């Protein structure tokens, strides 16, 4: 009677056993490798998500358009999350209502925020008209998240002859707009030099504007980020004021043609490549992010931005 398996059988079992061990080792190694890939992928995705979450936002002025889909596509391609869309007076009864509604609908479907854009220097002298014919009708249309006003009182002759009165009237206008906005955010465009304009005995126009509105966009138009005449240097005082008051602040950048004079050329990226502009904007983001309430860049405007070469 054989009490042990034949040698060939024993060898076969030994080889089978060894193969099973090697197979288990290999399987464990593959599982470990797969787990490592998943872990690395998770870390990379987390890092990408964190970077996306901390990248300052982009906004875009849209003064005119013919095709809503093209505007939305431009915003998506360029990383824009907020549109400032021009709204005519008396919107609910305006012939432009369907056009505005179409753009807003397509933008919202794409996940974009849409604020109503409006303003005129004449509003300063007639705030009641501005409220009755623009603010209240725009709010009543129910299409917009917030209001974005671009009044620019400094473009009037009265700014030179009676600046103090104009400053007071401008601030009164902002108070009226905010009061009529029924709780919607109100963001105002201001120039980088408002910190040099007195508002009352102890304050400046940048700070008094910020105290009244939800946020500001500083028009610090330069096609270079660094240097004594670059965007960051021009906007530093306004960035500091906004941070001290806890108000979000964007920095405006220009892409349209302003003229041939060197003082005009340096204010816009018109005629330059999108690649160079993006490089400068990245530097602006990096420098301005040192201020706690920096909210990103606003590009002026959709037409100029769309026309830029790669």
What mean pLDDT comes out for the span 224-251? 98
Q: Which of 162, 153, 160, 253 is nearest to 209 (CA)?
A: 153
Assess whether 49 and 66 both reside in one domain. Answer: no
Assess whether 103 and 6 both reside in one domain. Answer: no
Assess whether 143 and 179 both reside in one domain. Answer: yes
Pairwise CA distance, residues 130 & 288, whole Å: 33
Pairwise CA distance, residues 273 & 62, whole Å: 20
Return the CATH number at 63. Answer: 3.20.20.80
Pairwise CA distance, residues 184 & 177, whole Å: 10
Assess whether 47 and 141 both reside in one domain. Answer: no
Would you say residue 147 has pLDDT above 60? yes
Assess whether 16 and 145 both reside in one domain. Answer: no
Would you say residue 24 has pLDDT above 90? no
Assess whether 74 and 194 both reside in one domain. Answer: yes
Would you say residue 8 has pLDDT above 80? no
Assess whether 68 and 13 both reside in one domain. Answer: no
Pairwise CA distance, residues 295 & 243, whole Å: 11
Residue tagged 């530093």 (tokens)? 236
Residue tagged 């012939």 (tokens)? 95
The DSSP line for 149-211 is: E---GGGSTHHHHSHHHHHHHHHHHHHHHHHHTTT-EEEEEEETTGGGSEETTTEEHHHHHHH
Q: How many domains does the structure of the chain reveal?
A: 2
Q: Which residue range forms the structural domain that includes residue 17?
A: 1-54
Mean pLDDT value across the chain: 87
Assess whether 268 and 122 both reside in one domain. Answer: yes
Domain limit, last residue, from 35, 54, 73: 54
What mean pLDDT comes out for the span 21-46? 38
At 16, the pLDDT band (50, 70, 90 cuts) reads very low
Assess whether 146 and 242 both reside in one domain. Answer: yes
Would you say residue 31 has pLDDT above 60? no
Assess whether 46 and 133 both reside in one domain. Answer: no
pTM of the predicted protein model: 0.83
At 56, the pLDDT band (50, 70, 90 cuts) reads confident
Assess whether 171 and 249 both reside in one domain. Answer: yes
Assess whether 19 and 86 both reside in one domain. Answer: no
At 228, the pLDDT band (50, 70, 90 cuts) reads very high
């Amino acid at each position: 009677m054989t009490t042990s398996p034949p040698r060939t059988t024993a060898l076969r079992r030994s080889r089978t056993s060894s193969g099973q061990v090697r197979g288990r080792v290999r399987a464990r190694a593959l599982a470990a490798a797969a787990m490592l890939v998943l872990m690395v992928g998770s870390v990379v995705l987390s890092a990408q998500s964190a970077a996306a979450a901390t990248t300052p936002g982009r906004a875009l002025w849209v003064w005119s358009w013919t095709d809503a889909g093209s505007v939305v596509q431009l915003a998506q391609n360029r990383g824009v999350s907020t549109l400032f869309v021009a709204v005519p007076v008396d919107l609910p009864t305006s012939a432009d209502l369907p056009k505005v509604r179409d753009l807003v609908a397509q933008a919202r479907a794409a996940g974009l925020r849409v604020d109503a854009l409006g303003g005129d220097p004449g509003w300063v002298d007639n705030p009641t008209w501005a409220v009755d014919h623009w603010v209240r009708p725009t709010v009543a249309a129910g299409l917009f998240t917030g209001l974005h006003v671009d009044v620019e009182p400094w473009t009037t002759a009265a700014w030179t002859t009676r600046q103090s009165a104009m400053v007071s009237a401008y601030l009164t206008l902002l108070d009226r707009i905010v009061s009529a906005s029924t709780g919607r955010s109100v963001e105002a465009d201001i120039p980088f030099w408002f910190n040099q304009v007195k508002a009352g005995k102890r304050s400046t126009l940048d700070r008094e504007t910020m105290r009244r509105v939800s946020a500001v966009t500083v028009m610090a138009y330069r096609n270079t980020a660094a240097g004594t005449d670059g965007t960051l240097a021009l906007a530093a005082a306004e960035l500091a004021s906004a941070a001290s008051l806890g108000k979000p602040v964007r920095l405006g950048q220009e892409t349209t043609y302003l003229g041939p004079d060197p003082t005009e050329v340096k204010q816009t990226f018109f005629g330059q490549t999108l690649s160079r502009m993006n490089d400068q904007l990245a530097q602006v983001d990096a420098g301005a992010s040192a201020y706690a309430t920096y909210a990103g860049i606003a590009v002026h405007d959709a037409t100029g931005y769309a026309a830029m070469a790669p």
